[in-house]
Amino acid sequence: MKRDPAELQKEILALKEQTGATILAHNYVDGAIQDIADFCGDSLELSVKAKKYQADLIVFCGVRFMAETAKILSPDSRVILPNSTAGCPMADMAQVDEVRKYRKEHPDEVLVAYVNSTAAVKAQVDWCCTSGNVERVLNAIPADAKIMFLPDRNLGANMTAKLGRPMSLWSGCCPVHDRITLESIREARAAHPDAEVLVHPECRPMIVEAADAALSTGGMLRHVSESLFREFIIGTELGIIHRMMRENPDKVFHPLLPQVVCPDMKKITLENVLAALQGKCEEIVLDPEIMDAARKPIERMLALK
């Protein structure tokens, strides 16, 4: 029997208090979970929080690579992923053996891994980056260095277009953002001519070009609250609209396409957040050597101002 969400939220908050757990949530998870989280944010903001809190117990409402990043930055915390099947298909498009092989064959290249990658892959690379700091990271790498950007070919190509910096690109992508079409932008603009079109830089370059801005989820949230526009077309996972509406009750948000839903983010439910607090879900456990190696490119990225 489906339980009442408000009752579940109450039970979660009581247990959170009792256990002293910190609940971190990505901007894409279900709104009812965002509402009971201690902090909601994008990948960069969540990694900064995980490092800052060093909480005994972190319930991470997001996908596996995000919970792994929290564990790497807060190794003494118990980090719980409420649904162990919540992964990121793009992260799985770069397998550690292939990355190791690439590194061996191209010893002169600087490897930059988007945070949407496994801990084992991060352990093989020079830099990590998120969509919130990718420009800063790329600008910190000497201009004459050859770069392999992985696993997101779209984010990489968008950065090449923006910064004029050629890079070798892995062939991965986010299946959720990659399906956004030009047609959908044309139709949404026709239906809402006064709206600003915002997309995520995981979209294909032609989509980014057709939009008004391409921003990380945290960047989009800041942008909509500061923008003089009153209406927005949102080209990213729909879960973000919950927070946009809550923080900007006087503005209007239209999803670019109703199908832009990440099935993995939606695997996190109030029921399994409660189960996580009851000690019934998977704790993230990583090989200490992998954690130490993966921490280097992440810390290097976080050290950039």
- Complex with ligand 13P: residue 62 or 274, whichever CB lies closer: 62
CA 9/CA 18 separation, integer angstroms: 14
Taking CB under 6 A as the rule, does residue 126 contact ligand 13P?
no
- Complex with ligand 13P: residue 216 or 272, whichever CB lies closer: 216
Strand 39-41 to 22-26 pairing: parallel
Applying the rule CB under 6 A, the residues between 190 and 249 that interact with ligand 13P are 200, 202, 216-217
- Complex with ligand 13P: residue 100 or 179, whichever CB lies closer: 179
| Residues 173 and 154: beta-carbon distance below 8 Å | yes
Among 59, 93, 99, 174, binds ligand 13P (CB under 6 A): 174
Q: Which tokens belong to 59?
A: 């319930």
- The angle that helices 43-53 and 64-73 make with each other, rounded to 10 degrees, is 40
Taking CB under 6 A as the rule, does residue 27 contact ligand 13P?
yes
**Minimum separation from the CB atom of position 50 to ligand 13P (A):** 14
Counts of helices then strands in the chain (DSSP H, E): 15, 13
CA-closest candidate to residue 65, choices 133, 115, 127, 27: 115
| Residues 58 and 120: beta-carbon distance below 8 Å | no
- Complex with ligand 13P: residue 132 or 151, whichever CB lies closer: 132
**Minimum separation from the CB atom of position 18 to ligand 13P (A):** 30
Among 22, 34, 43, 272, binds ligand 13P (CB under 6 A): 43
Interacting residues with ligand 13P (CB under 6 A): 27, 42-43, 116, 130-132, 174, 200, 202, 216-217
